[in-house]
């Protein structure tokens, strides 16, 4: 097959809805196609270096490439079951290697002839069909059964309080230079609250500049996914919720609502207080999560390239509010952890799996709890996670 034909097939697949929008999988498929056209069979280590930038990749210690190729096979199969179902040429990745294969398949066309039943049988068929429908209706329950919802959602479903999502936004401030009449907006990663800004301004501000906090914050990219996940969950509960940003949150709302707080832990403002002195706590000095047990402490901090393969840590917690309400916290050191911790709660299957793990480790699903989660992945949409620690909050 000509190079141009290969390119057309690959780009058609990548542009399909079934393939999805992952740039990583698109680059991987293009790379495998290029190697196949040049009669080269890429090795795992070569793929890791060329696509993922991992020069020291060891196939005996990591399954990263095998996992991504496995999922790429699934995406190709999904394409040919949907958009590509009428195509006679099928692109696959045969097991045992990483070269692409293009094979032909026969498409069986349905016959245009329609069998006709002899007219004398029509009344008999109608009577039989009527009897079947009658007994089917007799056997069905009076009301359609509803799918069971995760136990973790039950308090939100039955709560007398309205629910509010609080998004951890990034603190920014304005700098005005009167000498030239210029204004610019600044984001300083170490400044995540009004208090930190005031300390920074006192210590660092040049005398000829005017620094003032902005009246708004910046939302990170993950906020769109958080809102989507919560909207789907609340839709299942038949309820609604409102949205606030941390920079605009009024502490008076602490006792009037169930609060779902999502974001990087350093952006969660007053909600960081819920972890001070706790067995599982956020340590702002090292931007990590500290787990204390029997006089010893372990600190978990993220590592790797945040725009490549990396590992983050997150807290998923449900804590008692001051007025019988509840405070849910989904916070990561990076936004990767925040995204995955919320997904573990809002995805009904993942929530059921988390409930099962709580039941196995804690003997029950406690009313209040804290969970430490390790999250790994190449980008913020292709993540895997595991529970590191969990315990009930009494």
* 206-224 tens-digit pLDDT: 888 899 999 888 998 889 9
330: closest CA among 250, 226, 253? 226
- What was the pLDDT predicted at 107? 60
> Is residue 185 within 8 Å of 214, Cβ to Cβ?
yes
- Measure the CA–CA gap between 91 and 73, rounded to whole angstroms: 10
pLDDT at 110: 47
What is the pTM assigned to this prediction?
Answer: 0.63
Q: Looking at the predicted structure, is the pLDDT value of residue 139 above 50?
A: yes
User: Which residues are within 8 A (CB) of 332 and not within 5 positions of it... i.e. 6 or more apart?
Assistant: 264, 265, 312, 313, 314, 315, 338, 339, 340, 341, 375
What pLDDT is recorded for position 145?
47
Q: Bridge partners of 150?
A: none
Angle, helix 222-237 to helix 335-346, in steps of 10 degrees: 10
% of residues, the chain, pLDDT over 70: 87
Q: Is the pLDDT of residue 109 over 60?
A: no
Sort strands 89-92 and 182-186 into parallel, antiparallel or unpaired.
unpaired
Distances, alpha carbon 313 to alpha carbons 88, 268, 372, 373, in Å: 46, 15, 7, 6
Q: Which two tokens stand for residue 22?
A: 């992952």
What radius of gyration, in Å, describes the C-alpha atoms of the chain?
28
For residue 237, with 0-12 CB atoms within 10 Å meaning exposed, 13-18 middle and 19 or more buried, which class applies? middle
Q: What is the mean predicted confidence (pLDDT) over 164-169?
A: 95
Report angle CA 44, 46, 47 to the nearest 5 degrees: 65
Whole-number pLDDT of residue 20: 84
Q: What is the pLDDT of residues 168-201, one digit of tens each?
A: 999 999 999 988 889 999 998 888 888 888 888 8
Q: What is the pLDDT of residue 111?
A: 47
Inform me whether the pLDDT recorded for 77 exceeds 50: yes
What's the rounded Cα separation, in Å, for the pair 271 and 281? 11
Q: Residue 381: pLDDT band by 50, 70, 90 thresholds?
A: low
Mean pLDDT of the chain: 85
C-alpha distance from residue 90 to each of 37, 99, 173, 203, 273 (Å): 16, 14, 55, 65, 57
Q: SS3 of 263, please?
A: strand
- Tell me the pLDDT tens digit for each residue of 286-321: 899 999 887 788 999 999 988 788 999 999 999 999
**pLDDT class for 108, splitting at 50, 70, 90?**
low
Confidence at 147, pLDDT banded by 50, 70, 90 = low
Contact 313, 301 (CB under 8 A): yes
- Tell me how far apart the 2 most distant CA atoms of the chain are, in Å: 101
Residue 124: predicted pLDDT: 54
Length of the chain: 394
pLDDT tens per residue across span 348-363: 999 999 999 999 999 9
- On the question of pLDDT at 242 being above 90, the answer is yes
Average pLDDT over residues 49-56: 84
Residues 332-347 have pLDDT tens digits of 999 999 999 999 999 9
| Of 374, 238, 382, 352, residue with least CA distance to 298 | 374
Q: Is the pLDDT of residue 52 over 50?
A: yes
């Amino acid at each position: 097959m000509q190079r141009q034909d290969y390119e057309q097939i690959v780009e058609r697949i990548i542009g399909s809805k079934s393939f999805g929008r992952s740039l990583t999988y698109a680059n991987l498929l293009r790379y495998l196609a290029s190697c196949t056209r040049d009669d080269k069979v890429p090795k795992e280590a070569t793929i890791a270096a060329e696509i993922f930038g991992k020069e020291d990749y060891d196939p005996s210690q990591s399954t990263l490439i095998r996992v991504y190729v496995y999922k790429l096979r699934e995406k190709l199969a999904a394409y040919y079951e949907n958009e590509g179902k009428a195509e006679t040429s099928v692109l696959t990745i045969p097991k045992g290697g990483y070269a692409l294969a293009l094979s032909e398949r026969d498409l069986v066309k349905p016959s245009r002839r329609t069998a006709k039943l002899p007219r004398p049988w029509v009344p008999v068929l109608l009577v039989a069909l009527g009897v079947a429908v009658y007994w089917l209706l007799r056997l069905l329950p009076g009301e359609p059964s509803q799918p069971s919802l995760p136990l973790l959602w039950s308090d939100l479903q039955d709560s007398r309080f309205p629910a509010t999502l609080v998004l951890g936004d990034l603190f920014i401030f304005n700098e005005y230079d009167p000498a030239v009449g210029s204004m610019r907006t600044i984001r300083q990663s170490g400044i995540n609250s009004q208090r930190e800004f005031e300390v920074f301004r006192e210590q660092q501000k040049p005398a000829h500049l005017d620094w003032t906090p902005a009246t708004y914050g910046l939302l990170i990219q993950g906020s769109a996914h958080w809102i989507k996940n919560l909207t789907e969950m609340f839709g299942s509960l038949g309820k609604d919720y409102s949205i606030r940003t941390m920079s605009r949150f009024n502490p008076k709302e602490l006792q009037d609502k169930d609060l779902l707080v999502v974001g990087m832990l350093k952006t969660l403002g007053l909600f960081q207080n819920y972890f001070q002195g706790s067995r599982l706590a956020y340590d702002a000095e090292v931007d990590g999560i500290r787990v204390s047990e029997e006089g010893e402490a372990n600190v978990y901090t993220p590592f790797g390239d945040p725009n490549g393969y990396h590992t983050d840590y997150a807290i998923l917690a449900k804590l008692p509010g001051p007025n019988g309400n509840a405070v849910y916290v989904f916070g990561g050191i990076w936004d990767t952890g925040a995204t995955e911790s919320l997904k573990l709660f809002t995805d009904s299957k993942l929530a059921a799996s988390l409930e099962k793990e709580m039941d196995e480790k804690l003997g029950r699903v406690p009313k209040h709890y804290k969970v430490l989660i390790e999250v790994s992945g190449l980008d913020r949409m292709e993540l895997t996670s595991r529970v590191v620690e969990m315990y009930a909050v009494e």
